[in-house]
Copies of this chain bind each other. A is one copy, B any other.
Amino acid sequence: MKTENNEIKLNGNQPSIDAERLVRRIQELGQIGRDEDGKLIRLAASETDKAGRDAVVSWMEDAGLEIAIDRIGNIFGIWRGTDTAEQAPVLVGSHIDTVINAGIYDGCYGVLAGIEVIKTLRESGFVPSRPIAVAAFTNEEGVRYAPDMMGSLVYAGGLSVDEALATVGTDGTLLGEELEKIGYAGTEDPGFLQPHAYVELHVEQGPVLERMGIPIGAVENLQGISWQRVTIEGDANHAGTTPMAMRRDAGHAAAKVMTFLHERAVSSVTPTVATVGCIEFEPNAINVIPSRATFTVDLRDPDEQRLKDEEAALTKYLQELEPAEEVTITVERLARFEPVIFDKHIVELVEVASNHRGLESKRMTSGAGHDAQMIARICPTAMIFVPSDGGISHNPREHTSDSDLVAGANVLLDVVRHLAGKQ
């Protein structure tokens, strides 16, 4: 891929994807895996996941793609092209497994748009300089088997395939056995295709693009995540008989930490976010001062140093709070991921492609985890976001307008056309 002086040529006639077919297939896949209450549930390696996979494979075949399944169940639809089979492929894709009571766009959009892009390019007479492939990665959601983003993690070499296949699910099943059962325990070694580049198209799952009225997000990085559990211990005294000055109120101390974190993040000039999502008091009685408050802290920033600064600020605050409130504080680290920086040339390409289509774009950060963060370990990678109504995701109310879906797919088409074009 070359981007000379930010001049990216998107030469030739400019094909567009079949809008009606893309939207129809998204709806169609979204009907596969409904339970008796109408809830969409396609947990990884389940019978409903099999049904979804079968539909995806049939659409890949319809696009003339060669199907390959690796040992962790990742599905690849590959257009080898003529005399280009030995080249590193341009890879697009995402995942089709879902959470419980899911929306229809998360993941599926990227896979189905990828199929659509390759089919469109083939039918347009485009002559690629390298193969183009679309992937549906196994178990991105991590609901049934931990960790999430498992298929792409294994593919990128971050977890051994044997270890992953031995994962015991929340329902006591073994992932390896379940993949065998549904016929998606493939034979290819994960990583068998070493991509030239990876581009993942996804719904934003946040409110930024919708609020700003911008159709395309050129995702330049993915936030680092710091999860901690803070436990504050005080004394469970009587709420009536204990004067304020004689209290060791773990609940009050927790409220101070929450207020500190929120105000610090709000006043930050960086995109830092801070969330306290879980809380618990003990003994949790109306007339007893909490002896213990336990809460989680979710800190995110796209810059590793800034994320470290946020963690350090919390640590310092807790150290000062301990003597001030006469409480004992312990902190447990639950998870820590460094930020992922995407490939700047692909990000530029997304901007240029959007501009060519007359679509406004915005450089942005991904606040959620995606397969792209794993594949970024092995090749230049970036993501394209389209708006999510109300920022809602992992919920039946997840929604993106048809026009935004089509616009995003056409930007992906142009980006892929450039990446796989004659250089």
Contact = CB atoms under 8 A, between A and B. Distances in A.
A246 B278 contact: no
Contacts of A288: 275, 277
Contacts of A206: 237-238, 240-243
A296 interface: yes
A286 B334 contact: yes
B278 A285 contact: yes
B266 A244 contact: yes
B255 A300 contact: no
Contacts of A394: 238
A168 interface: no
A252 B258 contact: yes
A296 B279 CA distance: 14
Contacts of A246: 207-208, 211, 391
10 contacts: A204-B241, A208-B241, A239-B277, A240-B273, A240-B298, A240-B300, A240-B368, A240-B369, A255-B259, A275-B288
A151 interface: no
Contacts of A208: 241, 243, 246
Contacts of A334: 286
Interface string A223-239: 10101000000000111
Contact of A393 (B238, B245, B254, B290): B238
Interface string A304-319: 0000000000000000
Given A238-B368, A279-B284, A298-B287, A244 B265 contact: yes
Interface string A199-219: 000001111100100000000
A9 to B, nearest CB: 33
Contact of A279 (B227, B272, B281): B281
- Among A274, A290, A367, A393, the most chain B Cβ lie within 10 Å of the Cβ of A367
Nearest to A257: B255
Contact of A298 (B239, B252, B279, B280): B239
Nearest to A211: B246
Nearest to A228: B286
A256 interface: yes
A243 B206 CA distance: 8
A416 to B, nearest CB: 25
A64 interface: no
Given A251-B277, A255-B258, A262-B252, A391 B286 contact: no
Contacts of A220: none
A134 interface: no
A271 B244 CA distance: 8
